[in-house]
Structure 1
């Protein structure tokens, strides 16, 4: 039952983060961030937020740094929107699965073109 609750809380946090990034954040570097997944621990104390960031490597690093800097504000916003006794600590992670998938797709196309 705790896992189901953690999943529901994670989905709610994911939805709220998308809204926060598009409406509340003033930093222009955070415009190209997509939340791909949120994993909340069973005790609801920590939320691992996986994001993809569009742009070149340097832009992604700057955007990730902006996310880290805004973590307190983001956590406060989550606390105001998601009704929990204690707001989970938020940890951002760069989700490389989309890049990995694109790389595989490119390699497969190259292989097909060689035939």
Structure 2
């Protein structure tokens, strides 16, 4: 089920598996006892939760591990009381952006981080 009210922001920057960490702030996919993907899920604060970071090693991508974790984390955040589930996506990564849209996320704003030195 897509996360109703999910609003990802976009900013530049950084399958047959079991998801672990149901009571933890994130989840991990495992295959043959090895972690193959990770997705963090923040606690619900002020009705919002954030997904991220999300990571799968390059050699294990394209198998749906991270997609399953993002979907499960989003659902867990919603059932945990989040009215909005947020994530930050790299605009230069069409693969992750396509996956997030399929999961029900939609872009709402672009962010830029400026550092003054």
Q: Same fold (TM over 0.5)?
A: no
More strand by share: 2
TM-score, normalising length from structure 1?
0.34
TM-score, normalising length from structure 2?
0.33
More helix by share: 1
Higher CA-based Rg: 1
